[in-house]
Amino acid sequence: MSPRPGFVLDVDRSTPPTLFWHGERFSLERLPEGSRVIYAPEPLDPLADPSAAIRSALTHPVGDRDPLPALLRPGMTLTIAFDDISLPLPPMERPDIRQMVIEQVLDMAAEAGVDDVALIVALALHRRMTEAELRHALGDRIYDAFAPNGLLTQHDAEDPEALVHLGLTEQGEDVEINRRAAESDLLVYVNINLVAMDGGHKSVATGLASYKSLRHHHNPKTMQQSRSFMDQHRSELHSSNWRMGRLIADSGVTVFQIETTLNNDTFPSTFGFLQKREWEWGARDRLGYLAASKALDRTPPRLARQIFQSVKAPHRMTSVQAGEVEAVHALTTEHVWQQQGVSVDGQTDILTMGLPYISPYNVNSILNPILVACLGLGYFFNLYRGKPLVREGGVLIMSHPTPWEFNPVHHPSYIDFFEQVLTETTDPVEVAEGFEESFATDPWYIHLYRTGHAYHGVHPFYMWYWCAHALQHLGAVIVVGGDGPAVHRLGFRSASTLADALEMAQDVVGRSPSLTHLHTPPILMADVQ
């Protein structure tokens, strides 16, 4: 039986309670009659033979690009860059897609007699990955072959010697990327496309760029003009990256882009109920929910976090395409939409969502309040094409404990941003104008980014800018079950229960509002008509 497409449920009297994520916990909430619940499509069937599919993609590229073996020759320099720890979510069961793809690229390089091969983690301003994380992504064989010799490196956006300025786009945007990548005879980029925002020219133009380059598109203006940044064709974020990507190509950098898509089989069988629609829960699912929720209710938050951090997703590859960047990405985007797209008729007054424990920036870490805001207002709000799910002036209600808690190793500048910037203003433009530069150039943050496992000093600003479109669009944001002071620091309202939140929302959107619940994860993209 083929997987069923996404679905919009109209809640009536017989509808069972709806599952809401709440960080490392869940709850079942009864939504008002007439509400809508948007469910993701069921997981697409994976590729039957992913290894064969990868080989086929490498040897039958799309767009104006020769097959990979034809691009490889003795004496050349080859750089393989790949997506970092932020993808996929949750981290996938072994073998990771990056390992599967890179092993074949390396085999072809070996067959062609290419000796000068280097691997670079395209982490932009993200934190450096740990050895364990790299081993998980690449497999022990690749790690042991490259890391001890210094041939597996992590992009350093603050090392002037390791960067090269390729020029300015027609709009005056600096394009400064990793020197090794830019000066190699061939740059192979290995991507995992979890959401429609990922991939394309963004892979190199963002993943291997410097702050000087990134600031041109990671700013409030760009984010406010991206409607949404999940829709490449209406995203200023992407327009800027595309301009940069074309300049990179025009500069003589040959990029062989390899993009992959995953099905949304997100959680292992222990949490099988999370993949199902509630009215289809069987006895096993109900038992699973009860066991999980009761156990988690009794589990200290730190332990609950550790439990979830150990979860590996059974994602499977649904497509792989390689070749010229734009041609590849067009196919990738089709596959992403095929897995995640759900047609939704019209906007809603109130959008509800339960936020899970994980976002791209807290893998093996804490979802701190800024990341909570970013996950809800940045990512989930923007999971649309056409129009936002919630109308302008509407209310976003998100459920998450929002603890006033930070990982000081991963997110040191986030702590200062929360303590020192959000106390002054929550306006993204004022935040950018008043504080960004001093955080971006703070030598301590730079040191921690370069030598430790810290996100760059400017990164919390980007998380806040990610929220800019939603902050501009919404009438109110209410957090259910959040830590009051933390929620208020974010500039949001706090409610103890969903019922309270709905009552509060009516002060903004009026009586008898329409309500839509975004039932994610698994990830979906709403195509709002």
Q: Which residues bind other proteins (CB under 8 A)?
A: 415-416, 419-420, 438, 441-444, 447
CB of 430 to other proteins, least distance (A): 17
Closest to other proteins by CB, 90 or 457: 457
CB of 457 to other proteins, least distance (A): 10
Closest to other proteins by CB, 91 or 369: 369
> What is d(CA 195, CA 340) in angstroms, rounded to the nearest whole number?
8
CB of 247 to other proteins, least distance (A): 33
CB of 447 to other proteins, least distance (A): 6
Q: In the Cβ-directed half-sphere of 13, how many Cα atoms lie within 13 Å? A: 0
Closest to other proteins by CB, 251 or 438: 438
CA dihedral 98, 100, 103, 109 (to 10 degrees): -80
Closest to other proteins by CB, 349 or 442: 442
Closest to other proteins by CB, 337 or 404: 404
Task: Find residue 39's DSSP bridge partners.
Answer: 7, 519
> What is d(CA 158, CA 234) in angstroms, rounded to the nearest whole number?
31
Cis peptide bond upstream of 522, omega within 30? yes
Query: Residue 42: what residue type?
Result: E
CB of 11 to other proteins, least distance (A): 43
Among all chains, which residue has been given the structure tokens 């897995």? 339
CB of 464 to other proteins, least distance (A): 17
Closest to other proteins by CB, 297 or 419: 419
CB of 437 to other proteins, least distance (A): 11
Name the token pair of 188: 């192979």
> What is d(CA 344, CA 412) in angstroms, rounded to the nearest whole number?
40
Among all chains, which residue has been given the structure tokens 């949490």? 271
CB of 406 to other proteins, least distance (A): 11
Residues 6+ apart with CB under 8 A from 341: 6, 41, 385, 524, 525, 527
Under a CB-based contact definition with an 8 Å cutoff, are residues 210 and 176 in contact? Answer: yes
192: helix, coil or strand? strand
Buried b / exposed e along 131-155 (16+ C-beta atoms within 10 A): eebbbbbbbeebbebbbeeeebbbb
Within 10 Å of residue 264's Cβ, how many Cβ atoms?
24
Closest to other proteins by CB, 267 or 414: 414
> Is the alpha carbon torsion for 447, 90, 137, 63 positive or negative?
negative
> What is d(CA 109, CA 118) in angstroms, rounded to the nearest whole number?
11
CB of 412 to other proteins, least distance (A): 9
Closest to other proteins by CB, 181 or 446: 446
> What is d(CA 59, CA 15) in angstroms, rounded to the nearest whole number?
50
DSSP state of 209: B
Closest to other proteins by CB, 74 or 443: 443
CB of 419 to other proteins, least distance (A): 5
> What is d(CA 367, CA 361) in angstroms, rounded to the nearest whole number?
8
Closest to other proteins by CB, 445 or 466: 445
